């Protein structure tokens, strides 16, 4: 990935620098470093530091905390795509004897397993992992706080179990598998389980004084899959591009899209913010923009990775302080600044390379009852169905190769669209998940459920 500062306009670069400068100053961070990704590559890097002349660059490592979970989720999805496991499998099928085996792999990924948020005391982030050598030490005597699958409850031990699952099925350590299957293929050579120079030191900033206290750096041991990694803005920029578009060497675009799809109900406190969770990824609506990614924190460090797939813009922000700047807001603002100042230029419209007459027969206006819809044939071979006016159910459909189509999103995701034809091949109506779409509202002679009054449409006086 090539880094180019010149690809953004000067005004945009200044606005980005101003945002991170405010965050570092008001958040009292010893240092703060950020990067912006557009079109799959880094186009801006900026940093602010409390030490003159020592602004960190894109190769300086910071601890990234729970962004590690997204890496672990990628490993699990790889196992699924290889057919080694199914996301609906209970953990017990592959990793027996944990005491939490009733939870499915998908529930662990989405934090709906019912597990506790933390491991038993002492605080795992600030104590050696050697205090918790076994999974039983991580889970404690009562690992489940909630019924399995009933609510979203963020769980660090849940990702410890997923890391152990990877080790069990791969026959190697989580760290080795991650390096071989994700870090090396994506070129993330500055991402590692242990710090590698140059790296930032972690600090606590006194809440009522401009004073610092060094934070301990602990190896998290069994908890590593939940938060161990160190990385850089350069590497995380590459990872952000992967999370937006996939990479067949690691995980397909379709599987990465699945990670970005909500898989957990939002907690009541999150409903206002439109926040939920996918498979190893946080999802939120902010200022009308859908953002995905993950935040991270460990004593001495804060981290955030934010992606807007629609805008094709991502941001990475790292700081070396226990608390202070709200990096989630900073990351969202960096994405917004670029997306609004330099909106994505769409690809040129191009017509279909070939026209299938049977498919073209489906295009045009259709009615579900009296609701008017339009069906369009797209250049990428998909069909798009949506209301002619206003809001309502809309979706794209992929051909199944047998004359039927499957919905890709929204209300019609996974639903079958089947054109019903006359003996001469012309289309009578569309059957979509039992809904009948006709060329005219309640068309006479069509197979409308409940039938159509033979007297037809009439005025009120009749």
pLDDT tens, residue by residue, 72-107: 999 999 999 999 999 999 999 999 999 999 999 999
Taking residue 209's Cβ as centre, other Cβ atoms within 10 Å add up to: 7
| Residue 60 buriedness (CB in 10 A; 0-12 / 13-18 / 19+) | buried
pLDDT in tens, 177-213: 999 999 999 999 999 999 999 999 999 999 999 999 9
- Domain range list for the chain: 5-341, 357-438
From residue 261, give the alpha-carbon distance in Å to each of 139, 214, 278, 318, 437.
Answer: 28, 39, 5, 25, 29
Pull the structure tokens for residue 213. 């206290």
pLDDT in tens, 114-131: 999 999 999 999 999 999
DSSP 462: -
3-state DSSP assignment of residue 314 = strand
pLDDT in tens, 39-81: 999 999 999 999 887 889 999 999 999 999 999 999 999 999 9
Pull the structure tokens for residue 403. 């004359």
- Report whether pLDDT(445) > 70: yes
When comparing pLDDT for 443 and 19, which is higher?
A: 19
Single out the residue of 229, 214, 237, 219 nearest to residue 58, CA to CA: 237
> How distant is the alpha carbon of residue 1 from its chain centre?
21
> How distant is the alpha carbon of residue 359 from its chain centre?
33
% of residues, the chain, pLDDT over 70: 97
Instruction: Answer whether 10's CB lies under 8 Å from 309's CB.
Output: no
Q: In sequence order, which ranges of 250-301 are alpha helices (DSSP H)?
A: 253-259, 268-271
pLDDT interval class at 4 (50, 70, 90): very low
Fold topology of 357-438: Lipocalin (2.40.128)
Task: Identify the bridge partners of residue 275 per DSSP, sorted by sequence position.
Answer: 284
Helix (H) or strand (E) holding 331: helix 327-341
Helix (H) or strand (E) holding 120: none
Range scoring the smallest mean pLDDT among 5-9, 23-27, 333-337: 5-9
Taking each helix axis from N to C terminus, what angle separates 156-170 and 67-81, rounded to the nearest 10 degrees?
A: 40
d(CA 294, CA 280): 8
* Number of residues that this document lists for the chain: 462
pLDDT at 273: 65
pLDDT in tens, 349-379: 888 888 899 999 999 999 999 999 999 999 8
d(CA 428, CA 361): 10
From residue 429, give the alpha-carbon distance in Å to each of 322, 361, 363, 440, 448.
Answer: 61, 11, 12, 10, 9
φ, ψ for residue 433 (rounded to 5)?
Answer: 55, 40
Q: Please enumerate in sequence order all residues whose Cβ is within 8 A of that of 249, keeping only pairs 6 or more positions apart, or say none.
A: 185, 186
Domains 5-341 and 357-438 share a fold: no
pTM confidence score: 0.89
Fold topology of 5-341: Beta-lactamase (3.40.710)
């Amino acid at each position: 990935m090539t880094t180019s500062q010149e690809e953004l306009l000067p005004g945009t670069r200044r606005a980005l620098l101003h945002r991170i400068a405010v965050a570092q100053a008001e958040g009292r961070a010893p240092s703060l470093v950020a990067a912006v990704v557009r079109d799959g590559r880094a186009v801006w890097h900026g940093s602010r530091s409390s030490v003159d002349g020592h602004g960190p660059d894109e190769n300086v490592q910071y601890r990234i905390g729970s962004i590690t979970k997204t890496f672990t989720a990628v490993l699990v999805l790889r196992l699924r795509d290889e057919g080694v496991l199914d996301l609906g499998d209970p953990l017990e099928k592959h990793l027996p004897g944990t005491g939490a085996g009733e939870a499915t792999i998908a529930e662990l990924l989405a934090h709906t397993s019912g597990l506790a948020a933390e491991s038993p005391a002492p605080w795992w982030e600030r104590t050696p992992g050697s205090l918790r050598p076994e999974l039983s030490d991580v889970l404690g005597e009562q690992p489940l706080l909630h019924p399995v699958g009933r609510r979203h409850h963020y769980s660090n031990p849940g990702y410890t179990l997923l890391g152990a699952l990877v080790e069990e099925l791969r026959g190697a350590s989580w760290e080795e598998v991650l390096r071989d299957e994700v870090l090396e293929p994506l070129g993330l050579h500055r991402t590692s389980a242990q710090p590698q120079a140059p790296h930032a030191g972690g600090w606590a900033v006194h809440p009522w004084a401009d004073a610092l206290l060094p934070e301990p750096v602990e190896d998290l041991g069994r908890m590593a899959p939940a938060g161990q990694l160190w990385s850089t803005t350069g590497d995380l920029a590459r990872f952000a591009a992967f999370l937006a578009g996939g990479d067949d060497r690691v995980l397909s675009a379709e599987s990465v899209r699945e990670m970005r799809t909500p898989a957990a109900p939002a907690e009541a406190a999150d409903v206002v913010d439109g926040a939920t969770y996918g498979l190893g990824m946080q999802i939120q609506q902010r200022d009308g923009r859908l953002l995905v990614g993950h935040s991270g924190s460990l004593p001495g460090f804060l981290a955030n990775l934010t992606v807007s797939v629609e805008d094709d813009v991502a941001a990475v922000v790292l700081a070396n302080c226990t608390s202070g700047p709200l990096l989630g807001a900073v990351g969202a603002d960096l994405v917004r600044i670029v997306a609004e100042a330099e909106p994505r230029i769409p690809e040129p419209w191009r017509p279909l390379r070939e026209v299938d007459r049977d498919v073209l027969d489906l295009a045009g206006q259709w009615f579900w009852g009296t609701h008017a819809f339009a069906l369009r044939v797209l250049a990428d071979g998909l069909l798009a169905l949506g209301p002619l006016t206003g809001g309502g159910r809309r979706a794209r459909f992929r051909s199944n190769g047998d004359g039927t189509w499957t919905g890709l999103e929204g209300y019609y995701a996974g639903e079958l669209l089947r054109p019903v034809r006359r003996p001469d091949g012309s289309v009578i109506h569309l059957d979509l998940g039992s809904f009948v779409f006709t060329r005219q509202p309640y068309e006479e002679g069509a197979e409308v459920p409940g039938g159509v009054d033979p007297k037809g449409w009439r005025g009120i006086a009749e």
